[in-house]
Structure 1
Amino acid sequence: MTITCLNHKKTSKFICYQCNSLMCSRCISIHNKEHPDHSDKWEHIDDIKDSLSTLKLDDIIDTTNTTTNNDISNDSTNSNNNSISQINNKLKSLWESLRSSASRYQRLSTTENEIKQHFEQLHQYLIREEHKLQRDIINDKHTITNQIDNNILNLKYIVNIIMIFNKLNINDNDNNNNKVNTDNKSMINSNNTDNICDDQSIISDKASLYSTTTIMESIRSNSSLQSFINHNNQTLFNEYLDLFNIEELLKQHSNDSTSLLLDIIHKYNNQFNKSTTITDNNNLTLSSYKLSIKQPDFNQLNSIIEQSIKLDNIESTESINTTTNNNDNKQSYIFITHQLKGSTHQTTIRLKS
């Protein structure tokens, strides 16, 4: 399809880049008279084809950062721009803009990272101060956790001894007519009727139910030892728990319940020697703390930060070469950091490209 001028019915062979109009030979003459400032903005299609046929992309380089000597050669090259297609000039302009934008973006990223590193020092300082204050408290909490774990294990053994004693009394034919200690039975069996079915199997051991955090919550929520045991009768104090292997011990003691009871108490004492058992908080080398918090003066803090870092925005007269707006201005920055302590300082300056 041939593009024809509607006014003169002639083939259009010219294009004006300024007003983006296609024109014939007569139109271009009229256009030059009406728009003399467009005289270097139009091209003939033959000139465009010649320029494209000899186009070498390797010759399109960024010359914005070359030395003065190179600028002289560039001036001589630019003097021949009239014979170079506007497409060539556009390619060169686009490439220089891309190079400039990429370099500037890299410099901005470098400055951004320096700001981040500066405030990272402040973050690390605050974290160190936080950990310094928390260190003794964390150590004391760890000591208390060990104490609770040890005392819970101790308590489990004692409760297990009571369970064994009750079972031995029930199963002892010689003592069928004796009344079982109702207080001990109450401590172990209270609420079991409601919570345990006849065909109940041992509840699976779940880590969360045995965690020290869960145990401490149960201790705080129960005011008496009886309620604490009842609350944990499916886990810590499960009635099926046999810490002493009673069946084997009964064989060893020829089913003598009295001898067996004495033996398990002896085994308990061997495992939980008084010298290694912590039962009194007063025996712990723990400190008492009084925390005083004063709201920091953020105005003073802001002043300190502003003295340690500064970013000045400087307007530049150099325009950014873009395809959308050639009148946009670059923004340049002067970035300065000072160490918070000491007299030394580091200064980094970021200027326009």
Structure 2
Amino acid sequence: MLLIQTSQTNESQIKGLGVLAVNNYSLTTSNKDMENICKVHNDSFEFICYPCHRLMCKRCLRTHLKQFNDHIDYWDNIQDIRESFYKILYNNSNTSSKEDINVDDNYDQSGVYEIGEEEEVLLEYNDGEADNDHDQTEFIEEEEEEVGDQQVVEEAEEENQDNEECADYDINLCFIERTINYLWNSIKKSTFLFKSMDTSEKLITEHFKILHDFLINEEHKLKSPITKDKNITLDDIDQKTTELNQIVRIIKLNNSIYNNQKSGDGEEEKEESSDGDDDDQKYCNDDTTLPTALEIIDQSETFQQYAQYCVNNEYICPDIDIEHQNKQFHNNSDFIILDTIAKYNNEFNTATYAVQQTVDEYFITVEPTELETLQQALKNTISISTSQQPIANPSPIYYYLSTHKESISLYNHSVGTLESIKDTKNYRFEGTSRSTVAVGNHIYIFGGVDGQKYCRFSLDSISIDLIEDIDPAVICGKDRLAVYDGGYYIYILGGVKRIIRFNLKKLKFENFMDTHTVDICQAFFVKEKLIIFGSPNDRQNRLNRYGIDVTTGSHFRLDWDLGVNITSVCYDGYKSLYFVSGHRFYRYNTETNQKQQLKEFASFRLTKDGFGMIYSKISDKESYVYAVRCLEIRSNIFRHYRYSIENDCWEIFIDTTNHGASALVRITSVKAVYIRTKNVGTKVFQCDEAEKIAKQINHQIQLAPNNNNQKIGWCWSEHSELLQLIFRKRLNIKILIFMGCVNKHLFLVVVFTFAL
């Protein structure tokens, strides 16, 4: 007999398909006959409730499901469990009855558990409704429980209908079989994913191994001739150094004889210390390593320095026994020197010097630009993605905003359209050609006819959404220039020897610091340093270029040798300056200090000494330099040109028919909405594709005025570049509203099946 003991009873609900929890049970055997019978109803245990970890009889289960109707999917009958186990072992998925399987006989032989006839537990379905005749089954219940039983059945039916929507749910399987399927399918999927990831990892390794082998081969190919010539040169140095050291030894011998004659004329001769032949004595120590010899040669400017070093180094040139030499050659010093030179000449056979083939010197040239291009190309040779990639950000839209006297022109580079905006709230933009700066989806314009005001243009609403006064305590010059640092501040300078800083978060001005220059041609940030170019009218223009560290307030002089006076300049944000001097157009690399002349402004009639220039990069293969107001077509009517960096040519950008054209600013915007529906999945749409959206989801699109008094509901935005999604629920209809379109209208799409 099997006794199942519980350490505790847990009534917590198990959500979804979970792992069968049996850790709180200990399985032991007992001889008590009543332990496998329900003490309350005197009936056999036939059911298990997994959330509660309890064994129950039929009547216990009925009562339990009334009390915990959320456990309706988490109980099993022992007969179903055993049939499931049998089918697993014998792979007999078509067998569905106990008689066909005959599991009782197998289990009876083990003496573990005896099973009676299969009995239903109250849950039978007929055309989606509960069978009210369940009281005709083998067990009998009290009359007052019938209403409750029917409620349990209806709730069970509703729960099962909901669960049938889940692909992994099968009502014909018992819970433990569903658990087995869940675990097995999960493990199979994880195993497949692991093998797939392992294969992907190997592919990446193989890919970079190919690149690595290629680079190694290229390295060896370039180094091979150099290595060959290095070895030839080393052999030549080794031979000549050995020969040269023997000459140094002769020099040392001569010096020793001279010193001995000078100091030893009256001394007595000493006995021979050795009878060895001089032929066995080495002229010089050949054990000196070649790297040591190279080091000595490199540090010696002349042979005299080298010889003095070797003479004083006993390891290279050991001391010579002069007394032995004198006795051997009867104190004939001249013969000693001649004999030594003859032996040297015989060893090295240096009667004449043959002309040897010289080794060429190698020069290495590295192109940083080509290296960057190669690095980017290598990155593009491989990419990684997943089957559940997040929604890709839509392509950015590039706008160019140009201000005039009382109007604004907005050019959409992506579609090539020009829109004129007349409603500027009577703001006058004269004199703001250099004080207009873009920050995200906003353009800040400082000054104008009223020098103590500033305004903000919003690309989301296509209108001026802010006009404020400049703090009277802050003194701004008339000819002001605005520079954005890429963070939280706009710096305003020019007209006065002071820099003003505008806090974008607080919308407040503050006096930042004093500066040297009043007339300023251009200013921009390079690696968080504010670079200032003086006006072309300044005679000291060549010297009036400096930088300011805005974190410390310290000034520093630039080491850029531009060589000419500058009338207009812009910076690409990376390393290149583009500037105009007269009619000539240049590019200057701030890292290598190299200047290159580009295609000139030969046919331009300049309106003044300088004009505005901006750099704009559309993609890796498309970038421009825009010349603003560089040509006056007619009186007070201007033309913007642009220079293609890739094609090295100028072309007309826009003819502005407005009077007083003052500025051109580039704005990068991402205007798109995310739509998730059960019908069309997850997609990203641009604003101008609203009609396509409506057609795809088979609903009508409407235009509604942007009425501020209308309560349109809860606003949601993933980040500032996205349009707001607004939706609400009325009865059973969910309304999705596209907000922020160019025409100041809300796009309303009524979607019955819309779901975020």
1:239 matches 2:318 = yes
CA distance in 2, matches of 1:287, 1:28: 97
Instruction: Give the conservation status (yes or no) of the 8 Å contact 1:10–1:24.
Output: no
Residue 158 of structure 1, CA deviation: 1.3
2-structure distance, mates of 1:291, 1:127: 17
Could you tell me which amino acid in structure 2 is paired with residue 38 of structure 1?
Answer: H
- Matched AA of 1:217: E
Calculate percent identity across the aligned residue pairs. Answer: 28
Deviation per residue, 1:217-263 (Å, 9 max, x gap): 332323233433444533653433x6xx9898777656655444322
Q: Hey, what's the Cα distance between the residues in 2 that align with 1:152 and 1:248?
A: 27
CA contact (8 A) 2:9 2:53 kept: no
Distance 1:304 1:78 in 2: 62
User: Whose RCO is larger (CA < 8 A, sep 6+)?
Assistant: 1
Alignment of structure 1 residues 184-263 onto 2, 5 Å:
210-232=288-310, 233-234=312-313, 237-240=316-319, 253=329, 257-263=333-339
1:161 aligns with 2:250: yes
Taking the TM superposition and a 5 Å limit, the aligned residue runs for 1:315-326 are 315=388
Give distance in 2, aligned partners of 1:311 and 1:229: 65
Deviations 1:147-185 (A, max 9, x none): 2222221122112122233444555699727xxxxxxxx
- In the alignment, which residue of structure 1 is the partner of 2:241? 152
1:264 corresponds in structure 2 to 340
Higher strand share: 2
Q: Call closer, same or farther: CA 1:51–1:145 in 2, change over 3 Å.
A: same
| CA offset digits 1:258-289 (Å, max 9, x no partner) | 444322211101122237868xxx84421134
Matches within 5 A, 1:63-102: 75-76=93-94, 90=179, 93-102=182-191
What TM-score do you get using the length of structure 2 for normalisation? 0.28
Is the alpha carbon distance of 1:304 and 1:293 closer, same or farther for their aligned partners in structure 2, counting shifts above 3 Å?
closer
**Pair 284,107 (structure 1): closer, same or farther in 2 beyond 3 Å:** same
Distance 2:96 2:238 in 1: 86
Alignment gaps of 5+ in structure 1: 61-72, 178-204, 317-353
Partner of 2:75: 42
Give the Å deviation of 1:40: 4.5
TM-fit CA distance, 1:130: 2.6
Task: Give the SS at the match of 2:359.
Answer: coil
Richer in helix (by share): 1
Give secondary structure in 2 for the equivalent of 1:216: helix
Which of 44, 62, 66 aligns to 1:33? It is: 66
Give the AA of the match of 2:249. Answer: N
State whether structure 2 residue 392 is matched by structure 1 residue 314: no
The structure-2 alpha-carbon separation of the partners of 1:35 and 1:264, relative to structure 1 and needing over 3 Å to count, comes to same
**Distance change >3 Å, CA 87–CA 255, structure 1 → 2:** farther
* CA-to-aligned-CA distance 1:26-72 (integer Å, 9 cap, x gap): 7643332244453452357x7799799x8899x49xxxxxxxxxxxx
Q: Structure 1 residue 134: deviation in Å? A: 2.6
1:273 aligns with 2:349: yes
- Rounded Cα–Cα distance in structure 2 between residues aligned with 1:174 and 1:136: 56
Give the aligned partner of residue 140 of structure 1: 229
Q: Within 1, Cα distance between the matches of 2:97 and 2:315?
A: 95
8 Å Cα contact 2:48-2:75 kept in structure 1: yes
User: Residues 48 and 85 of structure 1 are in contact (CA less than 8 Å); yes or no, is this contact kept in structure 2?
Assistant: yes
Q: 1:88 to 1:257 in 2, by over 3 A?
A: farther
Q: Is the Cα–Cα contact under 8 Å of residues 16 and 42 in structure 1 kept in the other structure?
A: yes
C-alpha separation in 1, matches of 2:97 and 2:380: 52
Work out which of the residue numbers 359, 367, 373 in structure 2 matches 1:286.
359
1:16 aligns with 2:49: yes
Give a deviation string over 1:92-136, Cα, whole Å, max 9, x none. Answer: 654554444334322322222122222222222222223333333
> d(CA) in 2 for partners of 1:235 and 1:118?
58
Structure 2 vs 1, CA of residues 5 and 125 (structure 1 numbering), >3 Å: closer, same or farther? Answer: closer
The whole-number CA distance in structure 1 between the counterparts of 2:378 and 2:64 is 62
Matched residue of 1:287: which SS? Answer: coil
Amino acid at match of 1:76: N
Letter in 2 for 1:128: N
Greater alpha carbon shift after TM alignment, 114-123 vs 296-305: 296-305
How many Å separate the matches in 1 of 2:176 and 2:86?
10
Q: Does the 8 A contact of 1:55 with 1:88 survive in 2?
A: no
Structure 2 counterpart of 1:65? none
What residue number does 1:129 align with? Answer: 218
Moved more, 74-83 or 263-272: 74-83
Q: Structure 2: how far apart are the matches of 1:162 and 1:298?
A: 54
1:160, 1:237 within 8 Å by CA — same for their partners in 2?
no
Shift in alpha-carbon separation, 1:116–1:99, aligned structure 2, 3 A = same
In structure 2, stretches of 5+ residues that fail to align are 12-37, 99-169, 267-284, 390-756
Structure 2 equivalent of residue 334 of structure 1 = none
Is this contact kept in 2: 1:16–1:38, CA < 8 A? yes
Find the aligned partners of 1:276 and 1:102 in 2 and give their Cα distance.
Answer: 80
TM-score normalised to structure 1 length: 0.54
Matched residues in 1 for 2:313 and 2:179: separation?
A: 82
Shift in Å at residue 75 of structure 1? 4.4
Mapped to 1, the partners of 2:177 and 2:192 lie a distance apart of: 23
C-alpha contact (below 8 Å) 1:151/1:277 kept by paired residues:
no
**Cα 1:41/1:287, change in 2 over 3 Å:** same
1:143–1:99 distance in 2 versus 1, CA, 3 Å: same
Do the aligned partners of residues 47 and 141 (structure 1) sit closer, same or farther apart at CA in structure 2, a change above 3 Å counting? same
CA distance in 2, matches of 1:277, 1:99: 81
Distance 2:228 2:40 in 1: 95
